């Protein structure tokens, strides 16, 4: 048995190796280890710490998963105040600010001040405190003087070092930066929330803010936040950088991720040139940016310029113009989703925004509808939140027609006329009638989707026909359809009907975890479905699982377990599962299923990265197809990447692939790659 000293040395060695590997992977985009090697070292450290709790330290990578849920957040005082920045909205306002700064510094009118330009990340500001090189506290900005202490949550952000990569760190270091959610991650989060019947986040910034204030760090870890550092504060007696440019390099050397798109600029004209270039290029970035932060480079001159009561005189945010447009409200409609959630949607006269024509925007829920105080015929201001999602920003009541009626969600379901319900503590209003045609149509669309049972040829229009004619009253009825009946329907010929019957037959071969996901159970996304199916390899086993059994699974919390138990105990659902079993649907794991062959699939051993917007597949669909063929999808490009699958508006990942000589393919070439390999087998 190893001595205590040997155990301490080994634990320290493992922490150093794992932290270095995490920095290489998440910050430098240059993985040092294979995943299997990292996992083995991680497990060794975890076992050491479990067996010997005295070895546990704050900088251990095992602490990134977060501890138990917090009961709340405490308010903490910032060592150095977190002031806001003044804003400029055009070149003229920037020129005026530059002139004021020159007069404050007593520069000659001809003097060209040296600035550092950085992209302004649309996220949430954080203050990170390190003692002797170890992260000891993380806090939100709050009111600038005090913020909320969220250390457990920030520990889950892989781009935040738990220990500074400095041989002799100062006694204390305060680092400021921006936490954010990349666009691709945001889309995946909203897709999962939609599958679970939860309200969607309006934009990545709101999603990030909501995530940072989660009481359960495990939820934060699952959402994969990112972080860019931009400011460092050091003790007065410490030898530190002399300029903002040097400060960014110092942060990089300490192990932080710093935005690579930064530039020194001479005078206001140099700043405007940087701004103009990135106003055009920003749409290619994988994250949201809403402007450029301009800082006087020399720290000594920053001190000379000083501060106003609210902001530094030596820095300013040059914001991109928000693209907004007025429009006239035509109507308010209520949409019923597959989980029964009723969502108010505003339909208005079409307006051009961010390169597209927009005529509809979700209002999310009854609370938002009430907040807007929307009336019939109102003039509204519309924008694209994060330049992605249409959003009703505000109402212009001064233009309201005389006698206009206030708009509210209906009290009864627009599809089945059942009384709508809003449970205490929930934002969503729901139809709870399981026979509601809208819920059934949604459930069927989800059942046949690619990530679920992948039934080709059963689109939304055909589903509407089947439900509206009473031919399908449950999921099980799909498997009772015959070709002759289908051929008699609108736009369905004999061949199409025959193909659909074959596709339904093929779906009987999908693995158990796909069927579990396809059921559309509240809170059960594709990842959770795989976890549950692995732990309970049959419907019988899952039905017999206790809430305690479910909660013991990694990633399965009380919300999910309660939802699962409730669904399993409902007699209508039990009857559905009995019907599916009688129809030979896969209610148990089958090691010989088609997807069980992924270990020897067309892309076995291949690592792929997705970037940009693909013409036909969503990110989730493309990932599922790659994984089904045995491949692995990662979020960053390295020398070990085999292929980068690029769509339109591909950003920095495409540039890095070209720099590293990684093969770049499009969606069609990806499909061809899989098909060719399959044909050769």
**Angle separating helix axes 526-535 and 183-195, nearest 10 degrees:** 60
CB 319 within 8 A of CB 121: no
87-88 vs 315-319, strand pairing mode = parallel
Strand, helix or coil for residue 538: strand
Secondary structure of 94-132 in the HEC alphabet? HHHHHHHHHHHCCCCCCCCCEEEEEEEECCEEEEEEEEC
Annotated active-site residue in 120, 384, 653, 656: 120
CA distance 232 to 251: 7
Q: In terms of Cα–Cα distance, which of 166, 5, 25 is closest to 42? A: 25
CA distances from 672 to 480, 617, 626, 679 (A): 35, 14, 12, 10
Reply yes or no on whether 461 is catalytic: no
Q: Which residues make beta-bridge pairs with 345?
A: 333, 362
CA distance 51 to 99: 64
CA distances from 546 to 208, 543, 551, 655 (A): 33, 8, 9, 50
CB 207 within 8 A of CB 255: no
> Of all helices (H) and strands (E), which one includes residue 431?
none
CA distances from 26 to 32, 54, 165, 191, 247 (A): 11, 29, 15, 24, 21
- What are the φ and ψ backbone dihedral angles of 354, each rounded to 5 degrees? 50, 40
- Where on the phi/psi map is residue 106: left (φ > 0), alpha (ψ -120 to 50), or beta? left
**Angle separating helix axes 91-104 and 267-281, nearest 10 degrees:** 150
Token pair listed for 370: 């009430």
Token pair listed for 675: 């098909």
Distance of CA 80 to the CA centre of its chain: 31
CA distance 391 to 385: 6
CB 444 within 8 A of CB 478: yes
CB 183 within 8 A of CB 189: no
Buried b (16+ CB within 10 A) or exposed e, 546-576: eeebbeebeebbeebbebbbebbeeeebeeb
Residues whose CB falls within 8 Å of the CB of residue 315, separated by 6 or more in sequence, listed in order:
85, 86, 293, 294, 295, 296, 302
Positive or negative, the CA dihedral 155, 158, 159, 164 is positive
CB 62 within 8 A of CB 38: no
As separate numbers, helices (DSSP H) first and strands (DSSP E) second, the chain gives: 24, 21
Integer-rounded Cα radius of gyration of the chain:
28
> Of all helices (H) and strands (E), which one includes residue 87?
strand 87-88
Token pair listed for 438: 């809208």
CB 553 within 8 A of CB 531: yes
- Give catalytic residues, as residue numbers: 120
């Amino acid at each position: 048995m190893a001595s205590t000293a040997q155990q301490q040395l080994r634990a320290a060695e493992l922490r150093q190796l794992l932290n270095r590997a995490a920095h290489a992977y998440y910050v430098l985009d240059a993985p040092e280890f294979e995943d299997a090697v990292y996992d083995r070292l991680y497990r060794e450290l975890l076992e050491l710490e479990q067996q010997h709790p005295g070895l546990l330290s704050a900088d251990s990578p095992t602490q990134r998963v977060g501890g138990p849920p917090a009961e709340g957040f405490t308010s903490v005082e910032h060592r150095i105040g977190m002031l806001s920045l003044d804003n400029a909205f055009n070149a003229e306002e920037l020129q005026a600010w530059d002139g004021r700064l020159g007069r404050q510094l007593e520069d000659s009118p001809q003097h060209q001040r040296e600035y550092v330009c950085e992209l302004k990340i649309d996220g949430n500001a954080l203050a990170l405190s390190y003692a002797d090189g170890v992260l000891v506290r993380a806090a939100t900005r709050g009111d600038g003087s005090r913020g909320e202490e969220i250390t457990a949550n920030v520990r889950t952000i892989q781009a935040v070092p738990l220990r500074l990569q400095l041989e002799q760190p100062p006694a204390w270091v305060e680092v400021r930066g921006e936490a954010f959610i990349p666009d691709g991650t945001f889309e995946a989060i909203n897709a999962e929330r939609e599958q679970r019947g939860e309200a969607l986040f309006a934009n990545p910034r709101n999603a990030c803010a909501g995530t940072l204030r989660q009481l359960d760090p495990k939820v934060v870890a699952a959402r994969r936040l990112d972080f860019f550092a931009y400011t460092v504060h050091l003790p007065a007696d410490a030898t530190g950088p002399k300029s903002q440019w040097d400060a960014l390099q110092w942060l990089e050397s300490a192990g932080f991720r710093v935005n690579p798109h930064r530039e020194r600029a001479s005078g206001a004209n140099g700043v405007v040139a940087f701004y103009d270039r990135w106003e055009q290029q920003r749409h290619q970035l994988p994250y949201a940016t809403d402007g450029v932060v301009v800082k006087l480079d020399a720290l000594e001159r920053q001190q000379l310029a000083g501060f106003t009561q609210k902001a530094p005189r030596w820095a300013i945010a040059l914001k991109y113009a928000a693209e907004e447009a007025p429009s006239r409200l035509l109507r308010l409609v209520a949409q019923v989703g597959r989980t029964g959630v009723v969502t108010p949607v505003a339909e208005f006269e079409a307006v051009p925004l961010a390169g597209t024509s927009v005529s509809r925007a979700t209002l999310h829920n009854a609370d938002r509808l009430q907040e807007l105080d929307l009336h019939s015929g109102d003039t509204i201001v519309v924008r694209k939140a994060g330049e992605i999602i249409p959003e009703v920003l505000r109402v212009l009541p001064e233009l309201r027609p005389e006698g206009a009626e206030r708009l509210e969600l209906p009290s009864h379901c627009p599809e089945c006329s059942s009384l709508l319900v809003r449970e205490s503590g929930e934002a969503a209003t729901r139809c709870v009638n399981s026979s509601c045609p809208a819920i059934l149509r949604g459930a069927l669309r989800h059942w046949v989707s690619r990530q679920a049972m992948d039934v080709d040829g059963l689109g939304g229009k055909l589903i509407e026909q089947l439900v509206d004619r009473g031919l399908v009253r449950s999921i099980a009825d799909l498997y009772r359809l015959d070709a002759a009946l289908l051929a008699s329907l609108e736009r369905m010929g004999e061949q199409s009907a025959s193909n659909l019957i074959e596709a339904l037959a093929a779906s009987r071969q999908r693995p158990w975890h796909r069927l579990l996901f396809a059921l559309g159970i509240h809170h059960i996304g594709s990842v959770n479905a795989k976890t549950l199916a692995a732990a309970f390899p049959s419907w019988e086993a899952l039905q017999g699982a206790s809430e305690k059994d479910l909660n013991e699974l990694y990633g399965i919390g009380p919300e999910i377990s309660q939802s699962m138990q409730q669904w399993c105990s409902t007699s209508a659902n039990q009857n559905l599962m009995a019907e599916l079993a009688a129809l030979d649907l896969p209610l148990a794991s089958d090691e010989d299923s088609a997807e069980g062959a992924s270990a020897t699939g067309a892309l076995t051993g291949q690592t792929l990265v997705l970037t940009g917007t693909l013409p036909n597949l969503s990110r989730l669909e493309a990932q599922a197809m790659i994984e089904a063929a045995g491949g692995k999808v990662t979020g960053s490009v390295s020398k070990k990447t085999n292929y980068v699958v690029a769509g339109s508006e591909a950003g920095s990942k495409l540039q890095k692939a070209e720099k590293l000589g990684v093969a770049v393919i499009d969606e069609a070439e990806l499909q061809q790659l899989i098909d060719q390999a399959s044909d050769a087998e």
